[in-house]
Amino acid sequence: MQIQIAIDGPVGAGKSTIAKECAGRLGIVYMDTGALYRAIGVWCKENGTDAYDEDAVAAVLPKIALEIKLISGVQRIIINSGDITDRIRTPDASMLASKVSSYGAVRTFLLDLQRDFAAKNSVIMDGRDIGTVILPNADVKIFLAADPRERAKRRYDELIAKGSDVNFDDVLADLEKRDRDDSSRTHAPLKQADDAILLDTTGYTFDESVERIMEIIKTRF
C-alpha cells in the first residue's frame, strides 16, 4: 500500500531533517520539495537570469529539464543533465528559493513533477504547500512550527557546522523575512491545512520531534 505524508511549516522548523529520519524508519521515500525551488533559483543565478524578475524566470523555464533521482536512497536534483544538489544549501540559495517559489509559473512548472513522484512512491514530502496544494489528499498532514528565535538558532548551527561564515542576527533576519514572504505570497502561501495536525517543536530535541511525528503517523495506519 502506498502512503503519502505531508509535512509543512516555516523555514527552520526542522521539516527536512525530521521528515528524512521518519522516512528511514518507515522504509519509504523522503522528497525535499524545497530543493526544487532552490535548484531553479540557483540555476537562474548561475545562468545569467535575474531570479528576482518574475517574467525573466518564467521565460527560461522551458529551457530547464529538471529531474529528481534517487541515488543510494538519497534525493539528487538534476537540471539539464547536471547535478546541482551540492550547490543549493546556502543562505543565498534559501533567499532565491523563497523568491522564485512565489511565482505562479514556477509553482505550476513543478506541480506535476511532485505529484507524479508521489504517485509512484510511498513518500514523505515536506515544504510550504504540500498538504494544501501538492498532496491535498495525503494520508497524514502535519504542520510543524517553532519559535522564530529557536528556528534561527537551529539554522545558524546547521550553517556553522557546514563551514558557512554567518552570524545569528543575519540568520534571524533572513528567517523572519522568509516567514513574511512565504505567508504573504499570492500563489500557494504558507498556511496550515484545515485537516493538518499542528506540532509546535519549541523546546523539543530532534529525537523528541521525530518520536512525536512517528506517534502521529502510527495513529493513522
pLDDT tens digits in sequence order for the chain, 221 residues long: 789 999 999 988 989 899 999 999 999 999 988 899 999 999 999 999 999 999 999 999 999 999 988 888 788 999 999 999 999 988 889 889 989 988 999 999 999 999 998 998 899 999 889 999 999 999 999 999 999 999 999 889 988 998 888 999 999 999 999 899 888 888 888 899 999 999 999 999 999 999 999 999 998 87
Element (H, E) at 166: none
Predicted confidence at residue 80, as pLDDT, reads 95
Q: What is the pTM of this model?
A: 0.84
Element (H, E) at 79: strand 74-79
Contact 12, 179 (CB under 8 A): no
Predicted confidence at residue 77, as pLDDT, reads 93
Predicted confidence at residue 46, as pLDDT, reads 95
Distance (Å, rounded) from C-alpha 119 to C-alpha 104? 23
Cell numbers standing for residue 62: 522551458
Q: What angle do CA 115, 119, 125 make, to 5 degrees?
A: 60
Predicted confidence at residue 187, as pLDDT, reads 81
Residues contacting 164, CB < 8 A, separation 6+: 90, 91
Cα–Cα distance list, 205 to 47, 80, 84, 159, 211 (Å): 40, 39, 31, 18, 10
Predicted confidence at residue 71, as pLDDT, reads 85
Domain 4-215, CATH: 3.40.50.300
Contact 3, 192 (CB under 8 A): no
Element (H, E) at 146: none
Element (H, E) at 69: strand 66-71
Predicted confidence at residue 124, as pLDDT, reads 96
